[in-house]
Amino acid sequence: MSKSVRKLSGHVRARLHRQLGQGWQRAVFASPRSEEGTRDELVVEGPGPLSDAAAFEAAFADLLGHAEQAAAAGRVKQTFVIDERRRLELDARHGQIKARTLDDATVDKIMGGKQRVLRPDRSAALLQAIGIMNADATISARNAKKYKQVNHLVELCRPTWEKLAANRTIANRTIDAAHPLRIVDLACGNSYLAFVLLEALRLVELPARLLGIDLRDDVIASSRERAEAIGFGDRSEFRATRLEALDAEQLTDALGGPVDLALALHACDTATDAALALAITSGASAILAVPCCQAELARQLEQPLGELLVPALVEQGLLRRGLGELLTDALRIEVLEACGYSVTALEFVDSEHTPKNLLIRAHRRHRGVVDRGAWRLEGVVERCRRLGLDPALLRLLPASS
């Protein structure tokens, strides 16, 4: 690297001084991409909007120091994000600066010519937090598919919140800022689905509050940090605990009232069952669940079942796992229906690692206190007995003991 990149020219300094005069959100200093598509990147958070001249000069001098040190270290691709729509791109090798504006035409191109809920010009904080938008306010070609998939998932979830929000009343209470929609994310992990839904609800001006629960302290800490970064810190809470250690009363107390919407995204194997059992016993008005790693029943399948179907379905490990997944989710749907829910199963594309997923969308048919005496689980229990299966969801529901 030549010494010429260590100091920014007077022309570059003057233009940055002029363009950043009202403040900036962050600066991103990156090396050129390698042949493998990777790059070394440093993000320096900015001061935000500035109105005081002295504060601006001090922050700007600090920014120039970072820019010149980054250039000397090979991070010559430098982006200064002014706000959600404007940024400056500097190539420190040549001193070339380009002003970029996220205008309507650019937004339309990013969205693939379709209207999408999570627009890059109004949901940037969310898109950055879940790894779709880069720190320099761009969406790479690699993330463009994921961006469309997340928006598709929002549309699959839309009927659920629209039904909950019909007339803005649930269980005789009006949904407003003082009485927000109560959402619980069970086995929340990174809380991506919950944050996406909070953003979608924010855009339609439907107040909501989130409680995220997970066993791991580290993911709870990450979810808290992510919520603050997006701006959801005041409408979310996260707790580290086992789902099996909670009961309906504790969950209601934590939310300040009955559950309106329960989420379970990729809760592994029987963790999905624990989430569904807690949602059912809590009387959640709606449930959105994406099962993952349905391995329990595959382990229970034995040769006698093959005589009822095709022997190879249980003799071959790959087919047995597939059959176990289908049986697991089919029985979960039967249990939900037996406990008073109307259920729809939908397929959606999620990621390169799990190319297809099942979304279970359930709505409780009756309001009020959960009446376990009205559950009709006998048929499901008998069917499992004949198949030699003992699914976790039945074991976890009180009526099945």
Identify the CA nearest to 120 among candidates 99, 325, 111, 345.
111
Query: C-alpha distances in angstroms, 260 versus 153, 164, 175, 284, 354?
Result: 19, 8, 11, 5, 28
pLDDT tens by residue, 107-147 = 888 888 888 999 998 999 999 999 999 988 888 888 888 89
Name the pLDDT band for 399 (thresholds 50, 70, 90).
low
End-to-end CA distance of the chain: 71
How is 318-361 classified by DSSP, letter by letter? HHHHHHHHHHHHHHHHHHHHHTTEEEEEEEE---SSS--EEEEE
Task: Give the mean pLDDT of 327-338.
Answer: 93
> What would the pLDDT profile of 272-329 be if each residue is shown by its tens digit?
999 999 999 999 999 999 988 877 887 787 655 655 667 777 778 788 788 878 888 9
Residue 3's pLDDT band, with cuts at 50, 70 and 90, is: very low
* Cβ atoms 397, 331 nearer than 8 A: no
pTM: 0.82
Q: How far are the Cα atoms of 105, 160, 172, 355 from residue 263, in angstroms, in the given order? A: 35, 11, 23, 20
Alpha carbons 207 and 170: distance in angstroms, whole number: 13
Q: Which positions ≥6 away from 280 have C-beta within 8 Å?
A: 287, 335, 336, 339, 341, 370, 397
Instruction: Sort 182 into a burial class: Cβ within 10 Å, 0-12 / 13-18 / 19+.
Output: buried
- Cα separation, 119 vs 124, in Å, equals 8
Q: Residue 4: its pLDDT value, please?
A: 45
The pLDDT of residue 401 is above 50: no
Say what percent of the chain tops pLDDT 70: 92
Region(s) of the chain under CATH 3.40.50.150? 144-400
In the DSSP assignment, the letter for residue 31 is P
Reduced to 3 states, what is the DSSP secondary structure of residue 288?
Answer: strand
User: What pLDDT score was predicted for residue 172?
Assistant: 65
DSSP secondary structure code for residue 391 in this structure: -
Nearest-angstrom CA–CA distance, 124 and 118: 8
3-state secondary structure string, 164-222? Answer: HCHHHEECCEECECCECEEEEEECCCCCHHHHHHHHHHHHCCCCEEEEEEECCHHHHHH
User: How far apart, in whole angstroms, are the C-alpha atoms of residue 111 and residue 19?
Assistant: 28
User: Dmax of the chain from CA atoms?
Assistant: 82
CA-based angle 168:123:102, to the nearest 5?
Answer: 135
Confidence bin at 350 (pLDDT 50/70/90): low
pLDDT in tens, 142-176: 888 889 889 998 999 999 999 888 755 555 678 88
Both tokens of residue 213? 């629960």
126: closest CA among 212, 220, 210, 230?
230
Integer Cα distance of 177 and 5 in angstroms: 52
144-400 to CATH, choices 3.40.720.10, 3.40.50.10470, 3.40.50.300, 3.40.50.150: 3.40.50.150
